[in-house]
């Protein structure tokens, strides 16, 4: 056994314990809490999908606006939920950080894993009924769907870690982020495709990593789009840089975490 093996085992036990604690705190100890955690986003997506379907019955891709909208909003919600959940992770676990065995990154990883599992369940609960209700079942590329969810998880974890770090330095960052992050929904291709916008604007859209995540999901359900762009290297590079920078800042602020 290598010298680092006990450290990894200890970290895994701490993260597992934190996930159980987070699960009980968020969902309660009954199945009703888990059911509501799935029903709330599923219901919201269903209502918005129907509303947009009535406004624009012909989608840019495929024949179902409900499927088109769901394939865009699901990876976005995973990213967006992770950025917010991880930002609040350290303040809500302030008491646990006084224990030497609990590190700030353990708290962030535990919450990220819980959010990931929750949104994978939400994706299945939303997409499976929509797909089965189609007159003609689409040919789904499962690898592209999995890639989209993985990229959304990586990007959300990276941005969420950076948000947690900025909150340590700037207590008002939560309010600033809520304003800064709002336009992302509109410029991530959730309600449109790259072929619908002028070439000049689509080139700027490439720099939005969330748009790559959405395009990957759409490719999984509607097939490759010649006008689409998905750069795994770009998204993972942004996610990794954000996570590393956030982790460094949090490490430097470790003595002040009990005050946030």
Q: What is the pLDDT of residues 27-40, one digit of tens each?
A: 666 666 667 767 77
pLDDT for res 92? 85
Nearest to 49 by CA among 71, 82, 78, 23: 71
Q: What is the predicted pLDDT for the residue at 1?
A: 46
Which residue numbers in the chain have pLDDT < 50? 1
Q: What is the pLDDT of residue 244?
A: 97
Give the pLDDT confidence score for residue 158 in this predicted structure. Answer: 97
Question: What is the per-residue pLDDT for 32?
Answer: 62
What pLDDT does 257 receive? 62
A 10 A CB-CB count for 99 gives 9
Please report where in the chains the tokens 């680092």 appear, as a residue. Answer: 4
Q: How far apart are CA 259 and CA 256, in angstroms?
A: 6
Please, is 100 exposed, middle or buried when counting C-beta atoms within 10 Å of its C-beta (0-12, 13-18, 19+)?
exposed
* Residues 6 or more apart in contact with residue 83 via CB below 8 angstroms: 156, 159, 160, 163, 177, 181
Helices (H) and strands (E) in the chain, counts: 10, 0
Per-residue pLDDT tens over the stretch 85-98? 999 998 888 888 87
pLDDT given for residue 22 in this prediction: 80
Q: What does the alpha-carbon distance between residue 251 and residue 227 come to, in Å, rounded to a whole number?
A: 42
């Amino acid at each position: 056994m290598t010298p680092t093996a006990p450290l990894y085992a200890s970290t895994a036990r701490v993260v597992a314990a934190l996930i159980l604690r987070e699960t009980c705190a968020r969902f309660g100890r009954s199945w009703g809490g888990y059911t509501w955690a799935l029903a709330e986003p599923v219901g919201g997506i269903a209502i918005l999908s129907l509303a947009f379907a009535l406004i624009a019955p012909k989608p840019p891709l495929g024949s179902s606006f409900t499927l088109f909208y769901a394939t865009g909003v699901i990876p976005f919600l995973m990213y967006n939920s992770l950025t917010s959940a991880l930002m609040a992770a350290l303040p809500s676990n302030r008491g646990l950080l006084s224990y030497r065995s609990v590190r700030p990154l353990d708290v962030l990883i535990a919450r990220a894993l819980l959010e990931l599992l929750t949104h994978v369940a939400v994706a299945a609960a939303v997409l499976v009924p929509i797909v089965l209700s189609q007159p003609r079942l689409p040919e789904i590329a499962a690898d592209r769907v999995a890639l989209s969810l993985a990229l959304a998880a990586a990007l959300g974890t990276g941005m969420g870690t950076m948000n947690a770090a900025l909150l340590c330095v700037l207590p008002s960052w939560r309010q600033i982020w809520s304003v800064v992050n709002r336009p992302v929904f509109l410029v991530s291709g959730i309600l449109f495709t790259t072929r619908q916008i002028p070439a000049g604007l689509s080139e700027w859209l490439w720099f939005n990593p969330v748009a790559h995540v959405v395009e990957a999901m759409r490719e999984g359900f509607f097939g490759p789009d010649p006008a689409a762009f998905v750069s795994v290297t770009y998204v993972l590079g942004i996610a990794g840089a954000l996570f590393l920078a956030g982790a460094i800042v949090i490490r430097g602020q470790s003595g002040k975490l009990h005050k946030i």
